[in-house]
């Protein structure tokens, strides 16, 4: 603790100086931060894979693994051994007052990876939305065993919806782990059959084929994760392992120069002597922040001091766009902080709006969207009741083909007006901190759900 405290020298740099330092530090270390989300049909092996990965990287001790095995045997899930590792590691669970998604960290030679996960979550998709809203790359796990890939890929399975969702939330790169190949004696035909079905689908969902990687794996036995010690697989595969692949994921250009925006995904109380007081976590959508900065919490008029910054559970003098952080704050009452609060520079706060226009892509839905439709609006970790108040136009390939449409069917791209619905016993209109996608890509992205189904994804065009 003391060591950490000493390291926390306040830089007190000007914004431009800090941005320059950040870029220099990054170039020197060669290590970049990356956020990963794991998706796929239930039981495909997501938790097992991540548990195994952490174990092989030494992030999960033999003792924890044994304890997990024992714990999972007790509940009658013998093969669940690794899946439990994630729960044990999610320390946010113990200290958090409000839990959004648990995050775990690990390193490859050139990447500091934050794993955004919500395994076993009751309502997985909303949790995935807040996770995917922050992810740079998705790892999709599909079950290669007989009949199981098909069950997950056909209508009603989650494979397609997850791929659509992550893509529409801005994730451009996807790694598909074709799992449980031990169940089919490492058959290359089976692997080829699955990749042949998945590839065109992923391209149609908007992933470019150069950003789509397939890997044959077995999560349980740990084959082709860190190493590949399986003669049956070696007979026909000599490509990269999962770790090799993660280490080479291209990191998107980060908007360091854009004003700071941190949508808060968790608020809790720091419990140690050094890290006491109110703490918030979230991802920097843009900008940089350093210890000693004064930042403003929107909505509200409150300003807080940044006392400590934690990046990947280590204290750091500053944090930059693309990183997931915990900030310990002073000078602010926690009642002014909640999930969905956006932390900003005092001079450049984000605007609060109750109405905006968005360009949306309509998903596979049962009943078409009509003007006035009541929906749930998702923006980062926030969700609010809203109405699609106007259907302005439908476009195709960037051209408006119809004005004032009566309905929106699946697959259409449309410009709509969205209005937040204020609660019946409030005199003030409901608002949300929002920006146009042109001003801030990550702050300008929304999802629209209705009766537990994601019906559209969109980008914010204009704030009304
Ligand atoms: P999730 O729902 O996607 O997180 O799936 P889990 O990780 O809970 O795994 C579902 C089941 O598949 C468990 O019983 C695992 O033991 C099993 N499983 C996972 N990976 C493998 C594998 O590589 N081979 C085999 N045979 N079973 C696996």
Ligand 1 pocket member 146 (CB < 6 A): no
Query: Measured from the CA of 218, which atom of ligand 1 is nearest?
Result: 23
Ligand 1 pocket member 72 (CB < 6 A): no
**Which residue lies with its CA nearest to atom 22 of ligand 1?**
180
Cα 444 vs. chain centroid, distance in angstroms? 15
**Which residue lies with its CA nearest to atom 12 of ligand 1?**
45
Please report the pLDDT score of residue 405 as a whole number: 97
CA distances from 327 to 21, 223, 349, 368, 433 (A): 20, 38, 18, 43, 20
Burial of residue 241 (CB within 10 Å: 0-12, 13-18, 19+) is middle
| CA pair distance 276, 412, nearest whole angstrom | 50
**Residue 375 contacts residue 454 (beta carbons within 8 Å):** no
Burial of residue 410 (CB within 10 Å: 0-12, 13-18, 19+) is middle
CA distances from 202 to 41, 167, 195, 279, 396 (A): 15, 9, 10, 39, 20
Ligand 1 pocket member 162 (CB < 6 A): no
Please report the pLDDT score of residue 201 as a whole number: 93
Please report the pLDDT score of residue 76 as a whole number: 35
| CA pair distance 184, 441, nearest whole angstrom | 43
Task: Return the number of other C-beta atoms located less than 10 Å from residue 331's C-beta.
Answer: 13
**Residue 457 contacts residue 168 (beta carbons within 8 Å):** yes
Query: Measured from the CA of 51, which atom of ligand 1 is nearest?
Result: 7
Total-model pTM: 0.75
The Å distance, Cα 298 to ligand 1 centre, comes to: 42
Q: What are phi and psi of 344, to 5 degrees?
A: -140, 165
Q: Tokens 């980060």 label which residue?
A: 254
Helices (H), 154-290: 159-168, 188-204, 231-234, 242-247
The Å distance, Cα 45 to ligand 1 centre, comes to: 4
CA distances from 319 to 21, 216, 290, 440 (A): 11, 36, 6, 18
Please report the pLDDT score of residue 102 as a whole number: 52
Site to probe by mutation for ligand 1, drawn from 43, 45, 81 as the one with most ligand atoms within 8 Å of Cβ, is 45
The residues pairing with 462 across neighbouring beta strands, listed in sequence order, are 357
Q: Is the ipTM of this complex over 0.90?
A: yes
Helices (H), 143-272: 148-153, 159-168, 188-204, 231-234, 242-247
Question: What are the residue ranges in the chain where pLDDT is below 50?
Answer: 1-9, 71-101, 118-122
């Amino acid at each position: 603790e003391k060591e950490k405290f000493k390291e926390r020298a306040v830089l007190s740099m000007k914004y431009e100086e800090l941005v320059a330092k950040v870029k220099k530090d990054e170039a020197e270390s060669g290590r970049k931060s990356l956020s990963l989300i794991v998706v796929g049909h239930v039981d495909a092996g997501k938790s097992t894979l991540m548990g195994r990965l952490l174990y092989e990287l030494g992030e999960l001790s033999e003792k924890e693994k044994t304890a997990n095995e024992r714990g999972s045997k007790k509940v009658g899930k013998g093969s669940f051994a690794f899946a439990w590792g994630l729960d044990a590691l999610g320390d946010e669970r113990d200290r958090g007052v409000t839990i959004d998604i648990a995050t775990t960290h690990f390193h490859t030679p050139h990447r500091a990876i934050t794993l955004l996960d919500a395994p076993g979550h009751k309502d997985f998709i909303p949790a995935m939305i807040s996770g995917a809203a922050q992810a740079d790359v998705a790892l999709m796990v599909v079950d290669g065993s007989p009949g199981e890939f098909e069950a997950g890929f056909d209508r009603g399975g989650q494979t397609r919806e997850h791929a659509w969702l992550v893509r529409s939330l801005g994730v451009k790169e996807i790694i598909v782990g074709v799992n449980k190949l031990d169940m089919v004696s490492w058959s290359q035909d089976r692997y080829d059959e699955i990749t042949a079905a998945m590839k065109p689908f992923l391209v149609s969902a908007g992933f470019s084929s150069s950003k789509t990687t397939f890997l044959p794996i077995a999560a349980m036995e740990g084959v082709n994760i860190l190493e590949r010690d399986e003669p049956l697989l070696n007979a026909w595969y000599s490509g990269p392992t999962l770790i090799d692949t993660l280490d080479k994921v291209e990191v998107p250009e980060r908007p360091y120069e854009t004003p700071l925006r941190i949508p808060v995904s968790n608020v809790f109380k720091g419990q140690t002597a050094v890290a006491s007081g109110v703490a918030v976590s979230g991802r920097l959508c843009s900008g940089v922040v350093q210890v000693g900065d004064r930042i403003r919490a929107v909505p509200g008029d409150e300003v807080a001091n940044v006392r400590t910054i934690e990046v990947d559970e280590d204290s750091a003098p500053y944090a930059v766009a693309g990183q997931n952080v915990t900030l310990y704050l002073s000078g602010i009452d926690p009642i002014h902080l909640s999930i969905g609060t956006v932390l900003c520079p005092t001079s450049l706060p984000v605007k609060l709006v109750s109405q905006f226009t968005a360009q949306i892509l309509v998903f596979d839905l049962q009943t078409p969207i009509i003007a006035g439709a009541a929906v749930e609006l998702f923006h980062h970790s926030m969700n609010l009741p809203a109405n699609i108040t106007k259907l302005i136009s439908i476009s195709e390939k960037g051209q408006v083909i119809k004005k004032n449409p009566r309905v929106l069917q699946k697959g259409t791209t449309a410009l709509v007006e969205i209005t937040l619905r204020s609660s019946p016993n409030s005199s003030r209109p409901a608002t949300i901190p929002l920006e146009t996608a042109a001003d801030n890509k990550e702050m300008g992205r929304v999802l629209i759900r209705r009766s537990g189904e994601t019906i559209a994804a969109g980008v914010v065009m204009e704030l009304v």
